[in-house]
Amino acid sequence: MIQEWYVALLPLLIATLAFVVPGLAVIIAGWGTSRISLLFLAPAVSTALLAVSATIAPVVGMAWSALPLVILTAVAAVAAYGLRRWAGRDAPPRRLGWPRIIAPVAAFLVAAAIIGAQLAWAFGRPDNISQTFDAIVHVNTAAFAVDTTNASAFHIGATSDIPFYPNAWHSLVSLAALMTGVSTPVAVSAANIAIGAIAWPASCIALAGALFRGRTAALVSAAALSTGFGAFPMLLLFFGVLYPNLAAYAVLPAGIAVVVWLLRSTSAREATLWSTLLAVIGVGIGLAHPNAFLALFAFGASLAILEFAARMLRDRTRRSVVIHASLIVVLLVVGAGLWRFGRTNYDMSRWGPWQSTAQAMGEALLLSPRAYPITVTVSILTLLGLVAIIRRPRLYPLVVPYAIASFMFVLVSGTGVNNLLREMVTNPWYNDSFRLAALLPVAGIPVATLGALTVVDLSRRALARWNSPKGVAVVATVIGVAVLFSVGVGPNVLRVAADTRSAYAMTSTSPLLTSEEQTLLERLDRTTAADALIAGSPWTGASLAYAIGNRQVVEKHVFGTRDDDEIYLDENLRNIDTDPRVCAAINEIGVDYVLDFGTQNVWNNPAASADRDGIQGLPPTESLALVDSEGPAAKLYRVVGCTQ
């Protein structure tokens, strides 16, 4: 297995550098290095730079490559440095001892290695694709960005006729493919590992640093806990697949961290610095997936409202009441507007509940949705964190995002489709329990981190009371860290990893693309001309000839606008010998070849692909010459019965 992954190492390195270097340059230029936690915001800032540079590049006549990213990074770093100078001299830098630097960095590297191994095992091979419906559009859209050297948010949606589509994930994948020359499926695997293993733990560390004021034990605990949840990042790689949501949620904790720092600002200039950083990260999250931006607003606005209410109660002056009450009203009005704007259409938001309300509440409490087994360490730490919050009211802000994420999850997974409150609150997530289940670790890790800190503090007091030798404390620390990182091999994450592995398995019975069909697609460079146009049913995986075989296809996705000729071909190609209009449509479209992968479709539901019955499971015909085949169902035909 390790040898199979060699091909993914270079694109993984490129994706990692794309996540680390641009954001780090901007953070250091604008916010300095006095807080180690700040440096872990780099992937969130890089996400914005990736998506924005990819969108700007075609506007200024540049092809998508590393160059637009480098240029925008340089401009952003200079602007950040100028903003920092304008804001005044920095406070004297705090001296960070080597343990306070080495410990979180080491914890991050260990977390990255664990999550990377989890994902590599779940994917099986780097060229395996997800055997799910949305894989069709996402893999082909990444290939489209590579093919056109254009990953703009106003361009990539052309694969399914959408004028604007969030492009952060596709920008990263296409950049990895363009810079290394690997196939699109390999670039997808490499980019997803970078998202899960680099962006996610880094963002969790940044949030812990903000909430717990840079405490080393908190940073290490957050890094370890980021490895132990099946709900994220693995669940979004199993279901859907929801790659754009994956990219957005991975950096969402970083956005919450900046909100926390902003609320602690003590001057207008300091607030300007944090507001600017929040705007940058917010753009990145929004260009990764808009509903993640809504989650950032929900968590951040709730923290702000709690803080503003506390200030009113503390100050008890008319000026304070007017200012903070006005800010609360503004946040509520903006939130209502965002939720109204973010609504999804009726047909795409009919996802039903999983379970009863009581079951949903239990899953939210233990951060283990979809009845997956719990990891005892995580559950205990989460409960300890909740107890600590109840006992110390000053810690209430820690529970706010957790309470909101839990409320939305319970609402979507435990109440009926016709529930008005459910429709009002969770519609921007398509009323999809999977998307909101994945938010639970984002909001729950800080609570579990507090639980870990509670154990640390109790242990320290006990050791001090017993006058234990220093060596005992060292041993206890090592054991504690090992126990924390053991959650990465806990039953919760391993069960979801096993499900994910089955969703990526390439076999002779895979629902989207079988091993025989993939083999046939990989031979298209030898069996078809470079400028060939291929027709086939996207329901059966035939449209992946574009991403895997590097050949143009009539339809890149199931849900795209089809003209009359394309619709007629999909419904009647099997009648090519007897229906002259079929040949007329073929000639009008310019079809050279037809891929027939039988009638098995990605949903295992014959009714779903009924609109393509005429191009699936084709009978023998004189007008289609068999060029290549693999196994009993994968066939490539050349059109010979229609004069072009």
Q: 82 versus 642: which is more confidently predicted? A: 82
pLDDT band at 463 (very low <50, low <70, confident <90, very high): confident
pLDDT band at 1 (very low <50, low <70, confident <90, very high): low
> Averaged over 611-634, what is the pLDDT?
92
Residues 400 and 300: their CA atoms lie apart, in Å, by: 9
Residues 373 and 231: their CA atoms lie apart, in Å, by: 11
What does each C-alpha distance from 460 to 189, 386, 465, 485 come to in angstroms?
Answer: 43, 21, 9, 20
pLDDT at 89: 55
What does each C-alpha distance from 31 to 49, 89, 517 come to in angstroms?
Answer: 17, 11, 51
- DSSP output for 287-338: HH-HHHHHHHHHHHHHHHHHHHHHHHHHH--HHHHHHHHHHHHHHHHHHHHH
pLDDT over 70, % of the chain:
98
Residues 380 and 386: their CA atoms lie apart, in Å, by: 10
Residues 34 and 40: their CA atoms lie apart, in Å, by: 13
How far does CA 157 lie from the centroid of its chain? 18
Assigned token pair, 551: 């050949």
Q: Which amino acid is at 562?
A: R
Residues 135 and 436: their CA atoms lie apart, in Å, by: 20
Q: Which amino acid is at 611?
A: D
Residues 626 and 176: their CA atoms lie apart, in Å, by: 36
pLDDT band at 462 (very low <50, low <70, confident <90, very high): confident
The 3-state DSSP class for residue 583 equals: helix
pTM: 0.96
pLDDT at 357: 94
Residues forming beta bridges with residue 638, ordered by sequence position: 593, 625
pLDDT digits (tens, 9 = 90+) for 535-548: 999 999 999 999 99
Do strands 624-630 and 552-553 pair parallel, antiparallel, or not at all (unpaired)? Answer: unpaired
pLDDT tops 60 at residue 190: yes
- Show me where the domains of the chain are located: 1-288, 515-639
- Residue 190: other Cβ atoms inside 10 A: 29
Residues 601 and 378: their CA atoms lie apart, in Å, by: 39
Q: Which helix (H) or strand (E) holds 120?
A: helix 98-123
The angle, 0 to 180 degrees and rounded to 10, between the axes of the packed helices 439-465 and 396-414 is 140
Three-class SS string for 443-456?
HHHHHHHHHHHHHH
pLDDT tops 70 at residue 97: no
pLDDT at 91: 55
pLDDT digits (tens, 9 = 90+) for 320-372: 999 999 999 999 999 999 999 999 888 787 888 989 999 999 999 999 999 99
Q: Which of 252, 255, 253, 235 is closest to 243 using CA atoms? A: 235
Residue with tokens 């000026």: 319
In this structure, are residues 70 and 54 in contact, taking their beta carbons and an 8 Å threshold? Answer: no
In this structure, are residues 84 and 273 in contact, taking their beta carbons and an 8 Å threshold? Answer: yes
> Averaged over 89-100, what is the pLDDT?
62
pLDDT at 423: 92
pLDDT over 90, % of the chain:
83
> Averaged over 66-78, what is the pLDDT?
98
Residues 361 and 449: their CA atoms lie apart, in Å, by: 21
pLDDT digits (tens, 9 = 90+) for 361-416: 999 999 999 999 999 999 999 999 999 999 988 898 899 999 999 999 999 999 99
For CA atoms 152, 154, 155, 161, give the dihedral sign. Answer: positive
Quickly list H helices, 342-490. Answer: 357-365, 376-391, 396-414, 420-426, 433-437, 439-465, 470-485
Q: Which amino acid is at 598?
A: G
pLDDT digits (tens, 9 = 90+) for 293-319: 999 999 999 999 999 999 998 888 889
- Residue 508: other Cβ atoms inside 10 A: 12
Q: Which helix (H) or strand (E) holds 139?
A: helix 133-148
Q: Which helix (H) or strand (E) holds 44?
A: helix 42-56
Instruction: State the average pLDDT for the chain.
Output: 93
Q: Which helix (H) or strand (E) holds 594?
A: strand 593-596
Residues 512 and 131: their CA atoms lie apart, in Å, by: 5
Q: State the distance between the two ends of the chain, measured CA to CA, in whole angstroms.
A: 47
pLDDT digits (tens, 9 = 90+) for 228-255: 999 999 999 999 899 999 999 999 999 9
